[in-house]
Every structure is written in C-alpha cells, then in structure tokens.
Amino acid sequence: MGEFELIHQYFATAPCAQGGAGVALGIGDDCALLELPAGEQLAISTDTLVAGVHFPDPCEPFLLGQRALAVAASDLAAMGAAPLGFTLALTLPHAQPAWLQAFAQGLNAMAQCCGLSLMGGDTTRGPLSLTLTVFGSVPRGQALRRSGAQPGDLLCVGGPLGDAAGALPLVLGQRQVAAQISVPLLARYWSPQPQFALGLALRGRATAALDISDGLLADGEHIAAASGVALRIELERLPLSSALLTLLELPAARACALSGGDDYVLLFTLPPSQWPALQAAHGELRVIGSVAAGQGVQLLDAAGQSITPAARGYEHFKAASAAK
C-alpha cells in the first residue's frame, strides 16, 4: 500500500476529515486553511508520542488513536481555546490494514468527541511514533496562561488525580483486578477527556492554568515559576477516585496523584470570589491548596507542616521509565 492510498483510505475519508467550523480547506492541498473571526487568536500545540515511552508497544490501536489526540487536545483546553482542527504525522514500521483501520477509528471517535477536524499531516516509515498538532481559537487577551497566579488565590484541579498512573501496571499487564476497578482506571489512561467546557468557563476567572501531564507537583512548578509565587498543596485535599483507593493503599494512591502524571485535568488558580459560581456549574472541581508569596511548590500535611515528596514527576532525559 502506497502513502497516498493509505492516507485516502484510512484518514481523508473519515468523518472527522470532512471539515468543520473555522476550517476553510482540509486534506488535499499543500496546506490547510483556517478562518478565524475578528478578534480571535489562534492557539497551537504539538505533542509527540513515541512507542515504549508514551505508550506500551504493542497496544490496541483503537485505544492509541483515542489517547494520542486527547493528550494533544488537552493543551487547547488548558488555554481556554475552542477546538478547531488537528494534523497528524504518523510514522509506522509497517502499513498493516487491520492496525490502521482500528487506529483511524479511535482517532475519529476522539476527534468527534472533541469537535476537532483532521486537516492534514504526513505518513512515513520508521519506528512507531505519532506527532499531532492541534489548533484552537480564543478571544484576543482571554487565553489562560501560566503567569498570572496571585497570592491569596485558591489552587484548584478539574477532577480526581492519579487514576492514569494507578492504571499503568494494568496497562502493562503487570497486574490484574476485577473489572469494576480496572475499567474506570483504564479509561482514564486510554481515553482522557480534554476539559474544554471547563477551559472556556475559566476565561476571565482563572489567573493561571495548565493541564496536568507530568504530575501535579512537576506541573505546579511551571505555574509557580511563571507567576513568581509559591503553590501550597494540602495533602489531605487531594481528590482520589474510589477505584484508585480500592486498587491502592492511601499512601500509594496519593503518590500517584502527586507525581504519576497523565491526568490531563486542569490545574488552575482562582480568586476566592470566583469559586462559588464556578463550583456550582462544575461539581467535579476541587480546591487543593492556595497561592502564597514565595517560590516553588510546597506540600503540606494535615498539621500544615511541609513534606518532602519521594518524587516530583516525569521529565524526559532524566527518567528511564517506559510507557509514561
């Protein structure tokens, strides 16, 4: 099967490749064309996923298609951007029809869930890796950034933490548990849901935001550094799912929440006056701490004493872990 036949059969004819709002021209020319309304800015993010680093190899291609796009799309939600489209650069060792069909179906399912149109990309031969670039739009001056947190703000997250990290032994086949435990945890790993509705709701409310990919502590450091403040995380307030607490003892579950990564929920800072209305509309939100003068991320126990965590999160070139 040639490159252009592959693109046409598995990607160009997919429902998610038939255009959408803001996509003036999609697959078929040298470039895609986007149209933005007056006063809108284009938000762009690129993610690369490598076999054996970001996902186990082999794995179910349908699940991989879902996960690959969700991971990239989460960056748009973190900026408060409305989704437009994406491109896919796919490197494959072999063009296997069954694998491509399942991968394309998973990709299309997540694209339609997120409201993203496939606009183009590239295919090449080599070790399995995926590079996705996502595009969104946000009103000028309203993008959520990492640099606005202020002392006195609340520190909040968009939902439970640690499920994807807790699921990793299940993903790798190192452990088996009952379906009522494994199913919700595996869903959080293979099919994270970008928090677009929350990102839009945070426009004009949150002072800083990002999505948690490398772990709460590690990603919190980015907000602290960009804003020139200290983030104070209260260990007792970490939101943990019942499935994770059934799978793991409390200390291990908390370790997953703090440094496991792959949560893809939003971490944001918020003036206290904004909390009641936001929480009423988004019941899954939780306050996990506060913003203070200073620097870095501080982890506090129930007595308010500082704790030194065993690990702070994933970092490329310093970690030798497979399938982050």
Average pLDDT value for residue range 145-160? 97
pLDDT-derived band at 16, boundaries 50, 70, 90: confident
Average pLDDT value for residue range 293-322? 74
Residue 301 lies in a domain: yes
Tokens encoding 104: 């394309």
Residue 255 lies in a domain: yes
Average pLDDT value for residue range 225-252? 97
Tokens encoding 231: 């983030």
Is there a single domain that holds both residue 68 and residue 171?
no
Is there a single domain that holds both residue 302 and residue 158?
yes
User: Degrees (nearest 5) of the Cα angle 194, 196, 200?
Assistant: 155
Q: Is 296 strand, coil or helix?
A: strand
Residue 28 lies in a domain: no
Q: Is residue 70 within 8 Å of 168, Cβ to Cβ?
A: no
User: Degrees (nearest 5) of the Cα angle 242, 248, 249?
Assistant: 100
CATH code at position 183? 3.90.650.10
List the beta bridge partners of residue 267: 157, 210
pLDDT at 134: 97
Write out the DSSP string of 124-138: EESS-EEEEEEEEEE
Instruction: Calculate the dihedral angle through the C-alpha atoms of 127, 213, 80, 293, rounding to the nearest 10 degrees.
Output: -140
Is there a single domain that holds both residue 117 and residue 177?
no
Tokens encoding 230: 């200290």
Q: What mean pLDDT value characterizes the chain?
A: 92
Question: For residues 97 and 262, what is the distance between their CA atoms, to the nearest angstrom?
Answer: 29
Average pLDDT value for residue range 270-277? 97
Average pLDDT value for residue range 98-106? 95
Q: What is the pLDDT of residues 125-144, one digit of tens each?
A: 999 999 999 999 999 999 99
Tokens encoding 58: 């082999």
Q: What is the pTM of this model?
A: 0.90
Is there a single domain that holds both residue 67 and residue 203?
no
Is there a single domain that holds both residue 130 and residue 192?
no
Residue 317 lies in a domain: no
**Residue among 200, 195, 173, 162 nearest 82 (CA):** 200
DSSP state of 21: T
pLDDT at 310: 65
Buried b (16+ CB within 10 A) or exposed e, 178-217: eeebbebbbbbbbbbbbbbebbebbbebbbbbbbbbbbbb
Residue the block writes with tokens 């291990």: 252
- Better-scored residue on pLDDT, 324 or 166: 166
Is there a single domain that holds both residue 126 and residue 271?
no
Is there a single domain that holds both residue 132 and residue 206?
no
Is there a single domain that holds both residue 206 and residue 299?
yes
Is there a single domain that holds both residue 176 and residue 226?
yes
Is there a single domain that holds both residue 104 and residue 12?
yes
Number of structural domains found in the chain: 2
CATH code at position 88? 3.30.1330.10
Domain that holds residue 243: 154-307
Residue 312 lies in a domain: no
Question: For residues 88 and 11, what is the distance between their CA atoms, to the nearest angstrom?
Answer: 10
Is there a single domain that holds both residue 229 and residue 176?
yes
Q: Is residue 192 within 8 Å of 264, Cβ to Cβ?
A: yes
Question: For residues 171 and 55, what is the distance between their CA atoms, to the nearest angstrom?
Answer: 9
Residue 146 lies in a domain: no
Average pLDDT value for residue range 184-208? 97
Question: For residues 138 and 41, what is the distance between their CA atoms, to the nearest angstrom?
Answer: 5
- Mean pLDDT lowest among 21-25, 105-109, 219-223, 243-247: 21-25
Residue 98 lies in a domain: yes
Is there a single domain that holds both residue 185 and residue 45?
no
Residue 295 lies in a domain: yes
